[in-house]
Amino acid sequence: MIRSFYPPQRTLMGPGPSDVSPRVLAALSRPTIGHLDPQFIVLMDEIKSLLQYAFQTENELTLPISAPGSAGMESCFVNLLEPGETVIVCQNGVFGGRMKENVERCGARAVMVEDEWGTAVDVDKVAAAFKANPQASVLAFVHAETSTGVVSDASALCQLARDNNALSIVDTVTSVGGIEVNVDAWAADAVYSGTQKCLSCIPGISPVTFGPRAVARINDRQHKAQSWFLDMQLVMAYWGGGSKRAYHHTAPVNDLYALHESLLMLQEEGLENAWQRHELHHQALVAGLEAMGLSMLVDRAYRLPQLNLVSIPEGADDASVRQALLADFNLEIGAGLGALAGKAWRIGLMGYACNQQNVILCLTALESVLSCCGAKINTGVAVTAAKSLY
């Protein structure tokens, strides 16, 4: 007989989801009200304001899509692209490839600018792509590439888009709350994120924001967006403001309680403090890993503090180590993807999971498991090295 499901208590230090704050979990259990209830409208307005703070934007069209980050990505493409257009897509990891897929499904043409996985997007290559394709109407890139732990120069890339009369679509799924995201300073046109990483919230919601140029493109479309659910012309009538909202879909009410609480926690901590916290614990983790004899795969100049790519040492089997960490320490870290599969682990320090206790747990558990499997590491030094940073 099937019984109620009670999950194990894990420490989530992979690429996402990350640990969810108890405050957020408690918010989920509050009484459900209708998605057109006057009090829910108040909540919607507060979520919009809190998202504007997190994104550092005054964009009116700022809202949470009622679906995961992949839907946030799709909402940007289906609303801004029409068949036959040319889009320059930057790929330095898995998620640039997903952008290409979205472009092609919209009937547009993707011009790929590819960089080696583990390196940042090359701005000069993008400039060359615009020169070779002056008709390009959109530039799409990932700010913080989840598959490689790399940050790219969003400000420079958005400037290139503006200089070439193109819109910018920016993936900030892993960056919001962990490193600086400044939509207005970048003059980014369409930006999407996710809730399950540095925002310490549950998976299943995708914050998005559209700037004035993007809104103008949406309003001037010649064809209907190919997705009814993600059509911003329809969604705007629900999230557009004021007490009168046009019904579009049944919003995930309790999930939005959770998002509201997580964004409130970010506001209480302060953006700069959150970024500094991620950087501090990242430095401590790296100090411990390097003392152990492990090496980081991403150059310090464009390394994400919230997602650490670590080379798998000689003598260690990727899957066996991760399975042992989960079984013996209830600790989850991530595998490498694509070209990095079997060569690297992805260790996340995101949101509520980004703290000293988790850094020490990860180093202790990893040393124990690697020692047992006979990997060539230095023992008894990792925790001391990490604590020297605190």
Q: How far is CA 245 from the centre of its chain?
A: 29
* Whether residues 175 and 207 fall in one domain: yes
Sign of CA dihedral 358, 305, 143, 347: negative
In this structure, are strands 11-12 and 190-192 parallel, antiparallel, or unpaired? unpaired
Predicted pLDDT of residue 140: 98
In one-letter notation, the amino acid at residue 324 is A
Query: Are 115 and 178 part of one and the same domain?
Result: yes
| Residue 246 to residues 2, 64, 151, 202, 232, Cα–Cα distance (Å) | 40, 16, 39, 27, 13
**Helix ranges, the chain (H):** 22-28, 38-55, 69-80, 94-105, 123-132, 154-163, 183-186, 212-219, 232-239, 253-269, 271-292, 318-329, 356-372, 382-387
- Beta carbons of 73 and 102 less than 8 angstroms apart: yes
Give, rounded to a whole angstrom, the gap between the first and last alpha carbons of the chain: 50
- CATH code, 245: 3.40.640.10
Is the separation of the CB atoms in 129 and 88 below 8 Å? yes
Is the residue at 228 inside a domain? yes
**Can you name the residues that pair with 110 across neighbouring β-strands?**
87
Cβ contacts of residue 57 below 8 Å, gap of 6+?
183, 184, 191, 209, 211
CB 64 within 8 A of CB 196: no
Reply yes or no: is the peptide bond before residue 17 cis, omega within 30 of 0.
yes
Separation of alpha carbons 362 and 359, rounded Å: 5
354, 287: one domain = yes
What is the C-alpha to C-alpha distance for residues 86 and 165, in angstroms, rounded to an integer?
13
Q: Do 260 and 337 fall into the same domain?
A: no
Do 76 and 213 fall within a single domain?
Answer: yes
Q: Which of 80, 294, 242, 249 is nearest to 169 (CA)?
A: 80
Do 285 and 257 reside in the same domain of the chain? no
Q: How many domains does the chain have?
A: 2
208 and 276 together in one domain: no
Q: Are 297 and 311 in contact, with CB atoms under 8 Å apart?
A: yes
Residues 151 and 190 in one domain: yes
Residues 6 or more apart whose CB falls under 8 angstroms from that of 152 comprise 90, 92, 120, 121, 141, 142, 143, 145, 302
Q: Which two tokens stand for residue 203?
A: 């998976």
Q: Last residue of a domain, which of 268, 294, 309?
A: 268
- Long-range CB contacts for residues 131-136, cutoff 8 Å, separation at least 24: 133/86, 133/88, 134/164, 135/86, 136/86, 136/87, 136/88, 136/111, 136/164, 136/166
| Residue at a domain's end among 268, 297, 329 | 268
Q: What is the CATH number of the domain that holds 339?
A: 3.90.1150.10
Q: What is the pLDDT along the chain (390 residues), one digit of tens a residue?
A: 999 999 999 999 999 999 999 999 999 999 999 988 989 999 999 999 999 999 999 999 999 999 999 999 999 999 999 999 999 999 999 999 999 999 999 999 999 999 999 999 999 999 999 999 999 999 999 999 999 999 999 999 999 999 999 999 999 999 999 999 999 999 999 999 999 999 999 999 999 999 999 999 999 999 999 999 999 999 988 887 655 678 889 899 999 999 999 999 999 999 999 999 999 999 999 999 999 999 999 999 999 999 999 999 999 999 999 999 999 999 999 999 988 999 999 999 999 999 999 999 999 999 999 999 989 899 999 999 999 999
Give domain status of residue 199, yes or no.
yes
Residue 1 forms part of a structural domain: no
Q: What is the pTM of this model?
A: 0.96
In a domain, 13, yes or no: no
pLDDT given at position 367: 97
Residue 326: what are its φ and ψ, rounded to 5°? Answer: -70, -45
Q: Does residue 17 fall inside a structural domain?
A: no
> Is residue 365, in this structure, part of any structural domain at all?
yes
Mark whether 140 and 260 lie in a shared domain: yes
333 closest CA partner among 283, 285, 278: 285
H or E element, residue 111: strand 109-114
Amino acid in position 215: V
Q: Are residues 255 and 284 both part of a single domain?
A: no
Which pair of structure tokens corresponds to residue 342?
């079997």
Residue 15 in domain = no
Q: Which pLDDT score is estimated for 379?
A: 95
Q: What pLDDT is recorded for position 76?
A: 98
Domain that holds residue 338: 271-387
Listed residue (297, 253, 296, 306) closest to 276, CA to CA: 306
Q: Are 106 and 80 in contact (CB under 8 A)?
A: no
Asked if 114 and 218 sit in the same domain, the reply is: yes
- 378 lies in a domain? yes
Q: Quick one: 293 and 251 in the same domain?
A: no
Distances (CA, A) of 102 to 187, 224, 307, 331: 23, 16, 25, 34
Structure tokens at 162: 């503006």
**Boundary-marking domain end, from 268, 295, 315:** 268
| Three-state DSSP state, 113 | strand
